[in-house]
């Protein structure tokens, strides 16, 4: 069906959708393009960060020559537009003053940010943004003069250089493959899920640049591989605001998003592109499921760059271009990306007062709405490491944090600050459960609205000292710890294995990746099988072209096969530790490894926060966790992923059972919570002996996106269980 529909809508030859890999901008060619742009008096370039593999993340700034010569002043003005004047003597004594918009707008050039290629396998964003930069840097047309008359272009063509390099390498072998090996960064982390917690250097670089410059509009460029030009006739998509989809629903931000989105849609229509755009919030591109029937797309993507922007009061949204082979030409893909940059600048330069005032008024409103409310993070009895991680995220997001000594030593985060919306998002979980920091870090917080009146009064009058720190992360490998192998072959998405490798490295474990072509367990004490498809892990990728459409496989299907399964059984029986997570847990059951007798119901309830209740009080798996208390955890069990391994039947081998889900209806992150209820009694963690070895199964995601560090310890305990 997929292929037939594609053939009906196909507009170009399959190979015309993207040029050969050697013609795409690689490291050297991109550096040359940047050097060429630097010859223009309208351009300044900055290296805003560096990847794990040492590649620079580059921002290209294009503006009138006089503006380029005085960028610091314009950046400072952008900060004043975004941040009301706040003088604070205590939580109760605060002086809030709005900014004079007319003064700030006199001669102002407003920053507009356009970024692309957070997914390294989406190619045309890089060429498209570079093409727009050339137009702005060197052309002397009336349109370019108007575009720069009231705006500064902040262009980040390539947020994920490591992923881009990996995708180009894949395309050299299989030109029509999806480039999936380059979706994530060097570890496999999906950067466009990391722009809130900022666990990765590329994400931190972009977050820092965004909040340093405070653009009035932020466009996150993407490409689509399933819908546009295939299931939908349109070949490009631009958002207005999508009611019921995004977590940001402030009227001022909605209006600004719609205005820029409309400008891009009109530009694309003028160029002859069939564009999907609806000012009332068209949901054809990402339709919302009926309650209980599926997951709102935001539930699995709440770390996106555009959500970072809207959380901080920036008019932010995505654009999409079809990239399925046959859907449209490479030239059209590049033109869509390039023209969207020009259209956004023209929209802002055409009415800078509207965009600046929408920011000024909204931010002032949020500060005043937060007066008298604050969040308390008690310091006694809490992990210092977790508190430092909290502080580092607060600092990254420009959230003001103070320390008090009375009524007890604590950190306090007032909501009467410009980043009040971010405080609600990160600390109170009012906007999204996926990015809520306290459970992810294992910290206890207290909302001032729930404090006893007398205690609240002491806090309101306490002496405040500003906290600026947030310890930098260090990773030290301890060779005395057991050596860990993490499977990263066919059937296991690279991001799933990447977060496990990340967690073990942070714990000091010597850790290596293995795949189906390099599967020797010699010298390892622990094998981790991350979440994935048990069938594909065993048999290799499915070569059914009817389901793949025109995409090529990046290599021949090859799984572990019977020989690999036998090797794992021998490894465990000889004393090794097998850790299975989700689909990796299912791989341990009948039909595959047959290392467990635990029944696994066919359930994939969704994703989000859950509670797990220990039932094996003496288990070393629970070392470091308070006895008798439920443990906050995260479950990543998306419907449609089979075989299942997310809930386990009642068993004497259960270490912890599910104690319910923290459901959040606006995200619809769970399609059903019944299987996670205490009454259902399903196990979340299981430990069994097999021969001289151990089998540990997790239904939860103990290292979800590298964010849930509070449950890293469960992995560490499991790895040490045989020592």
Q: What's the order of all strands across the beta sheet hosting 465-466?
A: 446-447, 374-378, 410-414, 402-404, 465-466
Cβ count near 337 (within 10 Å): 29
First to last CA, the chain: 53
Note the pLDDT of residue 4: 41
Determine the Cα–Cα distance for residues 103 and 687; give it in Å rounded to an integer. 66
> Are 556 and 490 a contacting pair, CB within 8 Å?
no
> Are 150 and 106 a contacting pair, CB within 8 Å?
no
Does a cis peptide bond (omega within 30 degrees of 0) precede residue 147?
Answer: no
Note the pLDDT of residue 8: 43
Q: Mean pLDDT for each consecutive 10-residue tract of the chain (723 residues)?
A: 46 94 98 98 98 98 98 96 95 92 90 98 98 98 98 98 98 95 97 96 98 98 93 92 64 92 97 92 74 76 90 94 96 98 98 95 95 97 95 97 97 97 92 88 97 97 88 78 97 96 97 96 98 95 69 93 98 98 97 95 91 91 91 90 87 95 80 92 96 98 97 98 82
Q: What angle do CA 643, 644, 646 make, to 5 degrees?
A: 160
Cβ-Cβ contacts under 8 Å for 667 (sequence gap 6 or more): 247, 296, 298, 299, 302, 432, 433, 434, 608
Cβ count near 104 (within 10 Å): 18
Provide the angle, in degrees to the nearest 10, between the axes of the packed helices 71-82 and 201-213.
80
Which tokens belong to 556? 């021949």
Cβ-Cβ contacts under 8 Å for 708 (sequence gap 6 or more): 440, 633, 634, 701, 702
Determine the Cα–Cα distance for residues 164 and 178; give it in Å rounded to an integer. 12
Q: In this structure, what are the phi and psi dihedrals at residue 430, rounded to the nearest 5 degrees?
A: -80, -20
Report the sign of the C-alpha dihedral through residues 290, 291, 294, 298, in that order: positive
Three-state SS letters, 121-175: CCCHHHHHHHHHHHHHHHCCCHHHHHHCCCEEEEEECCCCHHHHHHHHHHHHHCC
Note the pLDDT of residue 285: 79
Report the sign of the C-alpha dihedral through residues 329, 170, 643, 433, in that order: negative
What 8-state DSSP symbol labels residue 232? B
What length is written for the chain? 723
Note the pLDDT of residue 479: 87
> Are 598 and 653 a contacting pair, CB within 8 Å?
yes
Task: Give whole-number Cα distances, 642 to 491, 531, 647, 673, 698, in Å.
Answer: 11, 11, 13, 18, 16
What 8-state DSSP symbol labels residue 670? B
Using DSSP's 3-state secondary structure scheme, residue 447 falls into strand
Of 247, 379, 226, nearest in space to 307 by CA: 247
Cβ-Cβ contacts under 8 Å for 321 (sequence gap 6 or more): 124, 222, 223, 224, 228, 235, 236, 237, 328, 332, 333, 336, 337
Which tokens belong to 493? 């998405």
Determine the Cα–Cα distance for residues 627 and 217; give it in Å rounded to an integer. 49
Determine the Cα–Cα distance for residues 14 and 20; give it in Å rounded to an integer. 12
DSSP 456-515: HHHHHHSPPEE----PPP-----TTSPPEEEE-STTS-HHHHHHHHHHHHHTT--EEEEB
Note the pLDDT of residue 547: 56
Using DSSP's 3-state secondary structure scheme, residue 252 falls into helix
Using DSSP's 3-state secondary structure scheme, residue 191 falls into helix
Determine the Cα–Cα distance for residues 630 and 652; give it in Å rounded to an integer. 19
Which tokens belong to 475? 């990773």
Determine the Cα–Cα distance for residues 610 and 708; give it in Å rounded to an integer. 12
Note the pLDDT of residue 354: 96
CA atoms lying within 13 Å on the CB side of residue 349: 20
Determine the Cα–Cα distance for residues 255 and 268; give it in Å rounded to an integer. 20
Of 364, 237, 292, nearest in space to 663 by CA: 292
> Are 717 and 702 a contacting pair, CB within 8 Å?
no
């Amino acid at each position: 069906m997929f292929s037939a529909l594609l053939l009906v809508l196909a507009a170009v030859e399959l190979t015309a959708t993207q040029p050969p890999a050697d013609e795409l901008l690689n490291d050297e060619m991109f550096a040359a393009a940047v050097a060429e742009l630097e010859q223009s008096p309208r351009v300044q370039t900055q290296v805003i960060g560096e990847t794990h593999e040492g590649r620079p993340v580059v921002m290209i700034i294009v503006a009138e020559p006089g503006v380029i010569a005085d960028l610091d002043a314009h950046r400072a003005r952008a900060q004043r537009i975004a941040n009301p004047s706040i003088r604070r003597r205590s939580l109760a004594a605060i002086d809030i003053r709005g900014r004079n918009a007319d003064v700030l707008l006199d001669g102002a050039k407003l920053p507009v940010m356009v970024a692309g290629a957070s997914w390294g396998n989406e190619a045309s964003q890089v060429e498209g943004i570079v093409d727009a930069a050339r137009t702005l840097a060197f052309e002397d047309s009336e349109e370019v003069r108007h575009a720069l008359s009231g705006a500064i272009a902040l262009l980040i063509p390539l947020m994920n250089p490591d992923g881009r390099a990996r995708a180009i390498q894949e395309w050299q072998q299989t030109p029509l493959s999806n480039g999936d090996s380059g979706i994530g960064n060097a570890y496999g982390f999906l950067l466009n899920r990391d722009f809130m917690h900022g666990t990765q250097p590329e994400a931190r670089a972009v977050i820092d640049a965004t909040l340093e410059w405070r653009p009035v509009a932020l466009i996150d460029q993407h490409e689509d591989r399933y819908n546009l030009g295939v299931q939908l006739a349109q070949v490009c998509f631009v958002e207005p605001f999508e009611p019921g989809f995004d977590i940001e629903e402030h009227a001022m931000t909605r209006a600004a998003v719609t205005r820029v989105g409309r400008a891009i849609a009109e530009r694309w229509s003028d160029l002859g592109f069939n564009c999907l755009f609806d000012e009332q919030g068209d949901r054809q591109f990402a339709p919302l499921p009926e309650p209980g029937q599926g997951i709102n797309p935001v539930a699995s993507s709440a770390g996106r760059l555009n959500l970072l922007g809207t959380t901080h009061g920036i008019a932010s949204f995505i654009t999409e271009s079809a990239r399925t082979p046959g859907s449209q030409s490479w030239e059209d893909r590049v033109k869509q990306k390039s023209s969207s940059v020009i259209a956004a600048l023209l929209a802002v330069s055409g009415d800078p007062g509207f965009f600046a005032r929408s920011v000024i008024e909204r931010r002032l409103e949020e500060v005043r709405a937060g007066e008298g409310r604050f969040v308390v993070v008690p310091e006694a009895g809490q992990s210092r490491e977790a508190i430092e991680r909290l502080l580092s995220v607060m600092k990254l997001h420009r959230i003001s944090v103070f320390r008090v000594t009375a009524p007890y030593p604590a950190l306090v985060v007032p909501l009467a600050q410009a980043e009040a919306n971010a405080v609600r998002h990160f600390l109170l979980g009012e906007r999204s459960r996926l990015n809520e920091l306290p459970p992810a870090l294992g910290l206890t917080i207290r909302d001032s609205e729930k404090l006893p009146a007398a205690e609240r009064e002491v806090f309101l009058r306490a002496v405040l000292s500003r906290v600026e720190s947030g310890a930098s992360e260090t990773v030290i490998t301890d060779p005395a710890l057991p050596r860990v192998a993490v499977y990263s072959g066919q059937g296991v998405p690279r991001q799933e294995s990447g977060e496990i490798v990340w967690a073990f490295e942070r714990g000091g474990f010597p850790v290596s990746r293995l795949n189906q072509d390099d599967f020797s367990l010699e010298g390892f004490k622990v094998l981790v099988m991350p979440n994935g498809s048990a069938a594909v892990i065993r048999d290799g990728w499915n070569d059914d072209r009817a389901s793949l459409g025109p995409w090529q496989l990046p290599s021949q299907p090859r799984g572990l096969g019977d020989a690999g399964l036998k090797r794992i059984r021998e490894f465990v029986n000889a004393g090794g530790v097998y850790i299975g997570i989700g689909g990796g847990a299912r791989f341990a059951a009948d039909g595959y490894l047959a290392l467990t007798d635990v029944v696994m119901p066919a359930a994939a309830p969704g994703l989000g926060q859950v509670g797990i209740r220990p039932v094996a009080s003496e288990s070393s798996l629970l070392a470091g966790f308070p006895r008798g208390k439920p443990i906050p955890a995260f479950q990543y069990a998306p419907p449609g992923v089979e075989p299942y391994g997310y809930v386990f039947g009642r068993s004497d081998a259960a270490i912890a059972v599910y104690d319910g889900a923290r459901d959040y209806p606006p995200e619809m992150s769970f399609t059903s919570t019944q299987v996670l209820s205490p009454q259902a009694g399903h196990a979340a963690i299981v430990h069994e002996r097999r021969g001289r070895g151990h089998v540990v199964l997790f239904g939860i995601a103990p290292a979800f996106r590298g964010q849930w560090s509070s449950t890293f310890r469960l992995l560490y305990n499991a790895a040490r269980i045989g020592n």
